[in-house]
């Protein structure tokens, strides 16, 4: 049985103290250790060999020895050698070494070895070349290793659009949750250039649910940074304009259905500070609060308390409108705390007490 070296390298053991690491020269133990890794019938010896390979850092000569094995099509140690190359990756600082792995991965005929070589390229932009590979295992490996940046987002969008691999799509959606907010507009720009049919609405909806919410709100709800052509029919192609309106609907729906605590805090803060913002987005904020997970209640109430510190009466009224609606959704200690907070605000002035009372009566 060929052992996948990665299975023996748990994340909490990747960083070893210097005293536990050694270097391996061109022929020093590498060949024999790789042979023991693939040797059948002795799992304990295989595991020990894997552990030794993990600790031996190949020198340049050792890396050449590994390459000699990889380039021998009949050598049974090729897969293990490629995995060692992917684990000890000091060669990544060399553009020529990256090109060498890339060329070998393109020409490789053994699917398992090709997969290991693609794994070697993880977090390198070059791995995007394999996102549309017909072998689903290779395409998924490329998706797992894809770094999110300006130079890779177009490839991600194209692979998502083609939609050949469900596993790969799940990887993309998971990765996009960590998308750096400034890259959101770049991603949307690439999405706009594709043609999206009605049947793809569900997939696109899942994608928008995976994107960072605050920049999504600023772009599609506040329309901050909205492209000029999106407001001028004379400048917009029919396809891009149609996509923009579709994306706006999907983004707003995603934000309202599952708002994060970060988005809700932002909306509450802006609403309390800016009356124009509060009026313009009052309906959106109410819907978001109504859909917010009840488990967010304690965090939201803490934020309400922070916002009321030295707040003006006008600001308290705007906050009270939101807190009254939220209080009817909260149960248990959170509900009691929301009611207590409203009663505390009533003590600020008779006028504020009356306004809050009217708000509460309107919703009972």
Label residue 21 by pLDDT band (50, 70, 90): very low
Q: Output the pLDDT for position 311.
A: 83
DSSP for 289-318? HHHS-GGGHHHHHHHHHHHTTT--HHHHHH
**154: Cα separation from own chain's centroid:** 16
DSSP for 58-88? E-HHHHHHHHHHHT-TT-TTHHHHHHHHHHS
Q: Output the pLDDT for position 9.
A: 39
Label residue 218 by pLDDT band (50, 70, 90): very high
Average pLDDT over residues 288-300: 81
Q: Output the pLDDT for position 12.
A: 41
Retrieve residue 205's tokens.
Answer: 């909806």
The enclosing H or E element of 24 equals strand 22-24
The enclosing H or E element of 56 equals strand 56-58
pLDDT digits (tens, 9 = 90+) for 145-200: 999 999 999 999 999 999 878 899 999 999 999 999 999 999 999 999 999 987 88
Average pLDDT over residues 323-331: 82
Please classify residue 262 by burial: count the beta carbons closer than 10 Å to its beta carbon, then call 0-12 exposed, 13-18 middle and 19+ buried.
Answer: exposed
Q: Output the pLDDT for position 18.
A: 40
Label residue 363 by pLDDT band (50, 70, 90): low
pLDDT at 355 over 50: yes
DSSP 4: -
Average pLDDT over residues 321-333: 83
Q: Output the pLDDT for position 132.
A: 95
Label residue 10 by pLDDT band (50, 70, 90): very low
Label residue 233 by pLDDT band (50, 70, 90): low
The CA-atom distances, in angstroms, between 257 and each of 208, 286, 328 are: 11, 11, 18
Q: Output the pLDDT for position 231.
A: 59
The span from the CA of 361 to the CA of 142, in Å, is: 58
**288: Cα separation from own chain's centroid:** 22
- Cβ atoms of 130 and 118 within 8 Å: the answer is yes
The span from the CA of 111 to the CA of 79, in Å, is: 10
pTM of the predicted model, to two decimals? 0.82
3-state secondary structure of 158: helix
What are residue 6's phi and psi, to 5 degrees? -60, -30
Q: Please name which of 146, 201, 200 lies closest in space to residue 175, comparing C-alpha atoms.
A: 146
Q: Please name which of 58, 88, 76, 109 lies closest in space to residue 3, comparing C-alpha atoms.
A: 76
The CA-atom distances, in angstroms, between 202 and each of 198, 250, 312 are: 9, 9, 44
Q: Output the pLDDT for position 41.
A: 78
Residues linked to residue 22 through DSSP beta bridges, in sequence order: 56
Q: Output the pLDDT for position 290.
A: 80
pLDDT digits (tens, 9 = 90+) for 58-109: 888 889 999 999 999 999 999 999 999 999 998 999 999 999 999 999 999 9
Residue-level length of the chain: 364
Neighbouring C-alpha atoms within 13 Å toward the C-beta of 118: 29
The enclosing H or E element of 23 equals strand 22-24
The span from the CA of 5 to the CA of 91, in Å, is: 18
The 10 Å Cβ neighbour count of residue 276 is: 8
pLDDT digits (tens, 9 = 90+) for 119-142: 999 999 999 999 999 999 999 999
Higher-confidence position of 304 and 25: 304
Average pLDDT over residues 316-340: 85
Q: Output the pLDDT for position 244.
A: 92
pLDDT at 28 over 60: no
Average pLDDT over residues 42-65: 88
Q: Please name which of 48, 55, 77, 74 lies closest in space to residue 65, comparing C-alpha atoms.
A: 77
- Cβ atoms of 275 and 311 within 8 Å: the answer is no
The 10 Å Cβ neighbour count of residue 291 is: 13
Q: Output the pLDDT for position 321.
A: 86
CB neighbour list of residue 337: distance below 8 Å, 6 or more residues apart = 298, 301, 330
């Amino acid at each position: 049985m060929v052992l996948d070296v990665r299975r023996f390298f748990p994340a909490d053991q990747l960083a070893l103290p210097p005293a536990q690491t050694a270097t391996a020269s061109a022929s020093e133990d590498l060949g024999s250790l790789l042979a023991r890794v693939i040797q059948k019938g002795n799992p304990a010896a295989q595991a020990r060999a894997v552990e030794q390979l993990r600790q031996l850092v190949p020198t340049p000569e050792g890396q050449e020895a590994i390459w000699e094995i990889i380039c021998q099509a009949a050598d049974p140690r090729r897969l293990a050698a490629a995995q060692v190359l992917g684990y000890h990756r000091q060669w990544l600082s060399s553009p020529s070494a990256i090109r060498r792995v890339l060329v070998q991965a393109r020409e490789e005929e053994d699917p398992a070895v090709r997969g290991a070589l693609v794994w070697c390229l993880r977090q390198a932009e070059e791995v995007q070349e394999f996102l549309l590979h017909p072998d689903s295992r290779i395409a998924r490996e490329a998706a797992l290793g894809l770094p999110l940046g300006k130079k890779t987002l177009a490839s991600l969008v194209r692979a998502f659009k083609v939609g050949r691999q469900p596993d790969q799509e799940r990887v993309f959606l998971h990765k996009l949750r960590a998308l750096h907010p400034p890259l959101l507009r770049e991603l949307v720009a690439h999405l706009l250039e594709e043609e999206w049919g009605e049947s793809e609405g569900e997939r696109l909806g899942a994608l928008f649910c995976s994107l960072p919410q605050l920049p999504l709100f600023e772009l599609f709800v506040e329309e901050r940074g909205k492209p000029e052509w999106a407001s001028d029919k004379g400048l917009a192609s029919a396809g891009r304009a149609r996509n923009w309106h579709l994306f706006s609907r999907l983004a707003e729906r995603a934000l309202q259905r599952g708002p994060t605590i970060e988005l809700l805090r932002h909306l509450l803060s802006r609403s309390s500070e800016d009356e124009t913002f509060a009026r313009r987005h009052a309906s959106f904020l109410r819907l978001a609060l109504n859909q917010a997970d009840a488990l967010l209640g304690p965090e939201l109430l803490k934020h309400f308390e922070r916002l009321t510190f030295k707040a003006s009466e006008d600001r308290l009224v705007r906050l009270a409108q939101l807190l009254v609606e939220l209080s009817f959704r909260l149960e248990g200690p959170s509900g009691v705390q929301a009611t207590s907070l409203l009663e505390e605000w009533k003590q600020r002035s008779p006028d504020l007490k009356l306004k809050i009372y009217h708000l509460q009566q309107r919703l009972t």
